[in-house]
Amino acid sequence: MTSIFDFQEVNSILNEAYKKNNAPSVTLISALKKTPYHILISTLISLRTKDQVTLEASMRLFEKADSIEELAKLSENEIAQLIYPCGFYKTKAARMIEICKILLTTNCGNIPDEIDELVKLPGVGRKTANLVVILGFNKPGICVDTHVHRISNRIGWVKTKTPEETEFALRKLLPAEYWRTINDYFVSYGQTICTPISPHCSVCKLNTVCHKNNVEKSR
């Protein structure tokens, strides 16, 4: 490679690495449960929660409530018990109840397909909204979590301070054909090779072109 801005080659390298690892939990869930409801709820569960816990908690909940109408029939305590031990499970259960009430009252139980509408729901940020739009509605979006934010800055694609800034910078920088997969690829890469502390630069195929911003020590 001659440049980190050779998006086609970078994408090919990330795709190759991605195939060797497990997909993020919400992506796995989307392959089994394809509706916007399942994507929204599993993404809420995933926040500050490990992938395996997210996957197990989501599937437990969906066995009891496979639609927003069924979820609305559960108590806050029942939801909390089903999604335990995901992070902040009590808070997430309360937000799910709020979301049910709002959508059943104002939108006939339908999940919005626009980011600006999704972020109006309790507990739904741009990361969650983008993932719902991408996986639930097959529409373009860029989901930026901690891995996407960190790696995009580390390799030199962007120079931003927050995930939201990173999202808008990537929307301007990346060709739209790479938007949908960037989260899956960077999450996988960030968990295995481009780790937060002491990344495995010696085995990274982007090593020669990566700017290595804020990398103090590598392996």
pLDDT digits (tens, 9 = 90+) for 137-167: 999 999 999 999 999 999 999 999 999 999 9
Of 49-53, 68-72, 210-214, minimum mean pLDDT range? 49-53
Query: What is the predicted pLDDT for the residue at 34?
Result: 72
Of 33-37, 106-110, 130-134, 199-203, minimum mean pLDDT range? 33-37
Within 10 Å of residue 2's Cβ, how many Cβ atoms?
8
Average pLDDT over residues 178-190: 93
Residue 33 reports pLDDT greater than 80: no
Give the CB-side neighbour count of residue 88, counting CA atoms within 13 A: 12
Q: What domains appear along the chain, each with residue ranges and CATH number?
A: 7-22+142-203 (1.10.1670.10), 25-137 (1.10.340.30)
Q: How far is residue 196's CA from residue 190's CA, in Å, rounded to a whole number?
A: 7
Query: What is the predicted pLDDT for the residue at 202?
Result: 96
Average pLDDT over residues 33-38: 86
Query: What's the pTM value of the predicted model, to 2 decimals?
Result: 0.88
Query: What is the predicted pLDDT for the residue at 1?
Result: 78
DSSP, collapsed to helix, strand or coil, labels residue 215 as coil
For a pLDDT cut of 90, what percent of the chain falls above it? 87
What is the radius of gyration, based on Cα positions, of the chain?
18
For a pLDDT cut of 70, what percent of the chain falls above it? 99
Residue 51 reports pLDDT greater than 90: no
pLDDT digits (tens, 9 = 90+) for 85-117: 999 999 999 999 999 999 999 999 999 999 999
